[in-house]
Structure 1
Amino acid sequence: MTSSDTQFHYIVVGAGSAGCLLANRLSADPKNRVLLLEAGKADSYHWIHIPVGYLYCIGNPRADWLYKTQPDKGLNGRSLLYPRGKTLGGCSSINGMIYMRGQARDYENWATLTGERGWNWENALVDFKAHEDHYKRDDGADPQTGDNGWFSDFHGSAGEWRIEKQRLRWDVLDSFADAATQTGIQKTDDFNTGDNAGVGYFDVNQRSGWRWNTSKAFLRPAKNRPNLTIWTEAQAEKLVFETGVDGNQRCVGVQISRAGESVCATARTEVILSAGAINTPQILQLSGIGPADLLKTHGIEVKLDQPYVGQNLQDHLQIRAVFKLNGAKTLNSLANSMFGKAKIGLEYLFKRSGPMSMAPSQLGAFTRSDPSRSHANLQYHVQPLSLEAFGEDLHEFPAMTVSVCNLNPTSRGHVRIASNNFRDAPEISPNYLDTEEDRKVAADSLRQVRKIMAQPAMQRYAPEEFKPGTQYQSDDDLTRLAGDIATTIFHPVGTVKMGRKEDPTAVLDPKLRVRGVGGLRVVDASIMPEITSGNTNSPTLMIAEKAARWILEDHA
């Protein structure tokens, strides 16, 4: 390998949701030589592209890092599987495909916390629309301008990121939506206009019944550019620094493990960490940027004592309530027979529809856990199926699962290296249900699930609470049960947060540059000061769109 093979203008570490978009945008100018690193393999595994294939990707070393959390006090000592994508496309190759921006108030809050108006809803909307290819264009919007009145106000049509309606419906889900309206939750056909309160079917990142990941969307159009180099099975060992004449540290490259060798690639302009909310703080800590005591414990030279690298971990914890149903068509009964499985397979083969085209959750709802709340602070993921735990067989009785999560948790966790070996998994401690407020919301949310299921629209199915069980009624009972049955929705964020200069907990400035080090930026979900009110994949793409523009402007 010659030195020219390892010299670039930009090195992007992580070919996940943010990294794929960044690689596309930065390499659009042929003068920029860009290296994109991915620790996993190419996204050639067939189950990545079939929507139901997430069942075969999560927990599979072919596509998943196979992380686990530390035993969690809030979960009564349980550890959880913590899937993270390890393939081109990252988590967009194994996630639930739900297109969800969050609430306008999330971004107004980011703008306040950072002092940067570029993060407010109006500006975030520009970046969401920039890469959208939204199905509403197909409903009559002008294909050139996207002009369709209401449509063009909120959605884009000329981008790479395809958004479609789901290709199936279920009577039990329609009945749940009707029951939700009977409790005062209005129906909606678009969760992405700034206020996601309501109930309806989720839009998904699919194209004609296939998963649409960021590798397809952003790398395919760019892969033949001579100035873009993509290395798969190339894991970052650590960042490489030089000390300038002013005594300040500058990141100048990445030490990479690839094909049995350790290779140093250099970056003239910037190194950009897009390895996600778990791996980005891990790489920073392995490189000497993090809590000094932690680094010294593992024999790592301290380049920058930054105690908050790896802190501020936030995630959405979902509480899975299961209800047995009578006379209902659910996936349990359909998929538990050879005839049903054959029917499912043939429908997908010939129509690209049916259960094999399903996102993990089909119906959603956003509402308040109690009337005193000023905004929707709960999200429902409703499914026409049930099982004991992810990866296990479906129950043999007809049932549905009503999962509900606290959108704005106040509990905070951390990510810390467990050794100085880049191959060792980091310690992940979300600290779920660590605050009194989160425990109260958990109890209230379970009561609200029961209220919806008790409405007339659901009574045709005579629902019977299977989990957690009607014998549990008090706040203490419900909080304890939440700890027993809750699990993550895989939305870790916040571990390398951005913020104002005067905020000692902010590792990054408002334009995502690492404070105290030159030539280094972070662009992924770890930068969020507070988690968004919904699924986090789409906000991560918005972050990358905005960051790409800032990076190019900075080095014009």
Structure 2
Amino acid sequence: MGLEWWRLLEAFVVVFLFFHSSCCSDKDYTRPFYLFIIIYFNMLLIHAWIDQYYLVNKFLIIKMSLCAAPNYMFVKEATSAPAVTYYDYIIIGGGTSGCPLAATLSQNAAVLLLERGGSPYGNPNITNLANFASTLSDISPGSPSQQFISEDGVYNVRARVLGGGSALNAGFYTRATAAYVKQAGWNGTAVNMSYEWVEKKVAFEPPMLEWQSAVRDGLVEVGILPYNGFTYKHMYGTKVGGTIFDRQGHRHTAADLLDYADPKRITVYLHATVYKILFRSNRGKSRPEAYGVVYKDANGVLHRANLNTHAESEIILSAGAIGSPQLLMLSGVGPADHLRAHGIKVVVDQPMVGQGMADNPMNALFVPSPLPVEVSLIQVVGITRFDSYIEAASGMSFAYSWARTLHQNYELFLNKTGRSFTVPTEAMTKAADTLNAVINTTIRGGVILEKIMGPISTGHLQLRNTNPDDNPEVTFNYFKEPQDLNRCVEGMKTIINLINSKAFSKFKYSTTPVQALIDLMVSLPVNLRPKHPSAAISLEQFCIDTVMTIWHYHGGCQVGKVVDHEYKVIGVDSLRVIDGSTFYNSPGTNPQATVMMLGRYMGRRILSQRYSNFKKGKTT
């Protein structure tokens, strides 16, 4: 048993050498090995290890999740939409903020929610913990996760499904700090009420079994104090946070918050890709006014949705940190020279659109265990005073029957990128068979990771083309600022101390030094960044060379630069942005709770303003 994890490493080395000699040049980052390692190993290890227990109970869990799916009669395919429709509010993006926002606004207005992806319900790869990695590794055109690679050479994904990132992530639920709320200018009482509104539907206390308990006790032992128990609050020390998975392993996404909606006042169209926001210049108004959107259904047919003729009617972008700045630019709001270079008519020259892009860097160590471990997603977090967050996940099952389809999936990827395929089918099949032969179905172990606060380092987003289906070009500039790198180093030191702690000792092979775990991570091509021999001995270089994403990217439409404090786009009328693109920093240890809260919070504010103006007779 002690050699089991070394067999895993051996398998990866064999496949690496095989693909390295068989694939394209070093500059071809779509080589099959990288695709395999990152999509499956990285995403699976970092966020969830699927245990034999859940595989045995897979069909029972699927049945339960399908029965629990809400009967949303207002959710329809965009192919059923009329050519032209009218609403009080048009929300672009049915994600983590868009769903609670739409549900709230529907209490007193006619709402249209446009989602470019499909429904999470009835899809076991989304709904069930047992199939967590399947969605992230799906590169098909209709996948709920759309993969992209930042200009930094780090693999990433963005959501393409109702519920947004909450339909794909590891489910950790934790609030922002009181200081974050104050700095954002939000009303603390209303914020807490909005969090509670969200938590009634989607937040749960996780079970605490042996691995997570050992991580918790190890964090306390190495000085991440005090121990704060189970709480949604963000506090220094060690705590157990919430999760959006219930005790049956069933995911509860932001789409569940649509249960609050008034079904008579809301319409949700799926597979509705917005091409642009429409603007007009009205007499007596100095600024362009948003009045409608053009969107495409699954058959490629274009539709229009227009605002009703009320002064309070608005279009609201909730397409996320990638989609919102991208769509603003495609609609003519952005840096004028950049827009003209793509043949886009400039509505407003707004150079700050796409600026301030940031992604919290994540680094990790995989820890093989001599003992069986439970399946656990992120449950415990150590919130350090040097602003690094320590988290862990455990229990994995490598069911590699999927590897036989690697060739097919890789061809799909190449068709989208236009790259030539140089590895023959039989070679891919042989590699998949090798993996199946040498790797046991269940490998015991887990991963301990650190994510830094902030970050301070930022980059930018710009268009590649004018196709809204394609990913824009994104640069995050990981570790550009020295303080970010220092936080990572301190976080990795804490992980090393945790692994060596007495509390965690039974889950670590006594004959395996931490240096071997570091060497393992350095040897894996977890990203496309340059590799340096010193990464195995320098934690600074380790952080730089092995950086990965934890999918907490934000920015691009920041408050005070692109939108005002009411999230109204500066320089135009009847348009807001309400999502993580408005953030300067990622809130808490995981932003999803705050993004859902923001949708509810701003929905209530908008309705309050609407009612106040209605009483004053402010209609047109």
TM-score (norm 1): 0.78
Is 1:385–1:401's contact at 8 Å kept on the other side of the alignment? no
Corresponding residue of 2:160: 86
Deviations 1:389-435 (A, max 9, x none): x9998887643311001112111022211112222211121111111
Distance 2:556 2:550 in 1: 17
Contact 1:322 1:386 in 2 (8 A): no
Q: Could you tell me whether the CA contact under 8 Å between 2:227 and 2:239 is conserved in 1? A: yes
Gap runs ≥5 in structure 2: 1-79, 404-434, 523-532, 612-620
Mapping for residues 179-194 of structure 1, pairs under 5 Å: 179-185=218-224, 186-193=226-233
Q: Secondary structure at the match of 1:409?
A: coil
1:18 is the counterpart of 2:97: yes
Q: Name 2:390's counterpart in structure 1.
A: 380
The 3-state SS of whatever aligns with 2:290 is: strand
Q: Which amino acid aligns with 1:58?
A: L
1:54 aligned partner: 132
Q: Which residue of 2 aligns with 1:6?
A: 85
Preserved contact between residue 119 and residue 162 of structure 2 (Cα < 8 Å): yes
| CA distance in structure 2 between the aligned counterparts of 1:63 and 1:536, rounded to whole angstroms | 23
Taking a change above 3 Å as real, the CA distance of residues 41 and 190 of structure 1, as seen in their structure-2 partners, is same
User: Are residues 1:484 and 2:545 paired?
Assistant: yes
1:124 counterpart SS class: helix
Encode CA deviations 1:76-128: one digit per residue, 9 max, x unaligned.
Answer: xx331x222211111111111111113222222223xxxxxxx1545422321
Instruction: Tell me the CA shift for residue 68 of structure 1.
Output: 1.6
Q: 1: distance between equivalents of 2:110 and 2:105?
A: 8
Determine if the alignment matches structure 1 residue 434 to structure 2 residue 480.
Answer: yes
Q: State the distance in 1 between where 2:301 and 2:607 align.
A: 32
Report the equivalent of 1:337: none
Aligned counterpart for 2:194 among listed residues 127, 134, 137: 127
Residue 196 of structure 1 is aligned with which of 214, 219, 235?
235
1:174 to 213, 227, 232: 213
Determine if contact 1:324/1:464 at 8 Å carries over to the other structure.
no
SS, match of residue 240 in structure 1: strand
In 1, the alpha carbon distance for the partners of 2:371 and 2:449 equals: 19
- Counting matched residue pairs gives 469
**Shift of residue 132 of structure 1?**
2.5
- Give the AA of the match of 1:182: E
- Return the offset for 1:229: 1.3
| Pairing 1:214-233 to 2, within 5 Å after superposition | 214-215=254-255, 217-222=256-261, 225-233=263-271
Higher helix residue share: 2
Per the alignment, in what secondary structure is the counterpart of residue 442 of structure 1?
helix
Return the alpha-carbon distance in structure 2 between the equivalents of residues 178 and 464 of structure 1: 20
Distance 2:261 2:113 in 1: 12
1:59 touches 1:83 (CA, 8 Å); kept in 2? no
Partner of 1:96: helix, strand, or coil? coil
CA distance in 1, matches of 2:340, 2:130: 44
Shift of 1:384: 2.3
Q: In the alignment, what sits opposite 1:307? A: 351
Equivalent positions of 1:215-254 (< 5 A) are 215=255, 217-222=256-261, 225-245=263-283, 246-254=285-293
Which of 111, 114, 123 pairs up with 1:45?
123
For 1:545, what is the secondary structure of its paired residue? Answer: helix
What letter corresponds to residue 447 of structure 2 in structure 1? T
Distance 2:552 2:252 in 1: 19
**Aligned position for 1:464:** 513
Please report how far the alpha carbon of residue 131 of structure 1 lies from its aligned counterpart in structure 2 after TM superposition: 3.0
Counterpart in 1 of 2:366? 322
Distance in 1 separating the partners of 2:592 and 2:136: 16
Q: 1:235 to 1:397 in 2, by over 3 A?
A: closer
* 1:294-338 CA distance string (max 9 Å, x none): 11111111111111111111222111112344x32236xxxxxxx
- Are 2:133 and 1:66 equivalent residues in the alignment? no
TM-score, normalization by structure 2: 0.71
Summarize the Cα distance change of 1:71–1:498 in structure 2 as closer, same or farther, 3 Å threshold. closer
Q: Which runs of 5+ in 1 are unaligned?
A: 73-77, 112-118, 134-160, 332-354, 370-376, 500-505
What is the alpha-carbon root mean square deviation over aligned residues?
2.8
- 1:231 shift after superposition: 0.8
Deviation of 1:459 after TM superposition, in Å, equals 3.1
Q: How does 1:444-455 map to 2 (within 5 A)?
A: 444-455=490-501
**Paired residues for 1:101-120 under 5 Å:** 101-111=175-185, 119=186
Contact 1:102 1:196 in 2 (8 A): no
Amino acid at match of 1:50: N
Amino acid at match of 1:544: G
1:232: Cα distance to partner? 0.6
1:292 matched residue in structure 2: 336
Secondary structure, in 3 states, of the residue corresponding to 1:272? strand
Contact 1:188 1:200 in 2 (8 A): yes
Match of 1:163 in 2: 203
Q: 1:190 to 1:108 in 2, by over 3 A?
A: farther
**Equivalent position of 2:385 in the other structure:** 368
- Does 1:422 pair with 2:468? yes
Give yes or no for the alignment of 1:542 onto 2:597: yes
Which of 448, 459, 465 does residue 413 from structure 1 map onto?
A: 459
Post-superposition Cα deviations, 1:40-93, rounded to whole Å, max 9, x if no partner, equal 112231221112433111132444342323341xxxxx331x222211111111
Identity %: 24
8 Å Cα contact 2:519/2:536 also seen in 1: no
d(CA) in 2 for partners of 1:305 and 1:183? Answer: 52
Alpha carbons 2:243, 2:379 under 8 Å: kept: no
